[in-house]
Structure 1
Amino acid sequence: MKNIRYIIPILVFFLTVNAYSQRRSKHDPDKIRAYKIAYITDKLNLSEEEAKKFWPVYNAHEKKVSELRKEESTKIWRMIRSKDQISELSEADAKSVITSMMAIQEKYHKVNKEYAQKLKSIFTYKKILQLKVAERGFKRELFEKLRKQRKRVKKE
């Protein structure tokens, strides 16, 4: 009986934290991804055949870019953040950071070149430009929605 007195408050605490965290996570990556797919498909006016060829290439590219971002974050920015200030980095550490940054930028360039080559086999150059404009428009629209959502949350 004494154990129940201790267990119930702990359960209530964990359930409250869990419910709060679920309510706060409105930025569901799957929803954003679905919205992005719909947005780009609409803006490019993709045929079924084009979509079959395009989306696997696009998804593979997004995965590679995501992996590069993670690599950049873990290798470079953690090293910089591990020191309180950049002035605390030794010259050798700074050189290592710059060398790593340049290597990752080269990887980004290589991945983007490969992606462009694959896109050329699927789309015309005009359609590739439309894709770039659509991606930029999606980001702009997403940021606008996030900004409006933050304003709403602040008012509440």
Structure 2
Amino acid sequence: MSVKSVVRTTKMYRSAKSVLLKLFSINEDGDETVLATSSPVPKIAAATICKLFDQPFAIKPDTESLKRVFQIPGKTAWASATAPNIQAAALLASLQHDMKTAQGILIMITLSPDSHIVLSIKAGLSAVNSKAPKVRARALVVTHDERLSDQVRVEVLLTGL
């Protein structure tokens, strides 16, 4: 039986800037099961994450890892950076917030179609993970974007701040 994962947003009562993310599992019959609901996240983060799930993935996301990241309670933060190489993009994204107290992190790497995927992922994860030593739940999403040409984008959603 084939199971698909999808992330959708849910509006929050009395909040114009934040939404909740819900991770769903959808079976072949179209039956949906909510696997996890996040703490409030910035709308820009939610839009980006939901959009990623509408694209083909370079590496299929691990649903259990996403579930663990989403389930960590507390404040959230979002960072995004685009640069000519993965190390620079990861460093720029990690400098936007103090990641030392984050308990969960969703790392999204968007590569140009001609990127060397394995080397890029390893370098990006090393750069981000070194800034977030207390993280107990990590998830990774990797995709391609033809519009990036010679650029790499690294985006992180921090949870449990």
TM-score (ref. length: structure 1): 0.25
Query: Taking CA–CA contacts closer than 8 Å with sequence separation of 6 or more, which of the two structures ends up with the larger relative contact order?
Result: 1
Q: In terms of Rg, which structure is larger?
A: 1
Higher normalized strand content (fraction of residues): 2
TM-score when scaled to structure 2? 0.24
Answer 1 or 2: which has greater helix percent: 1
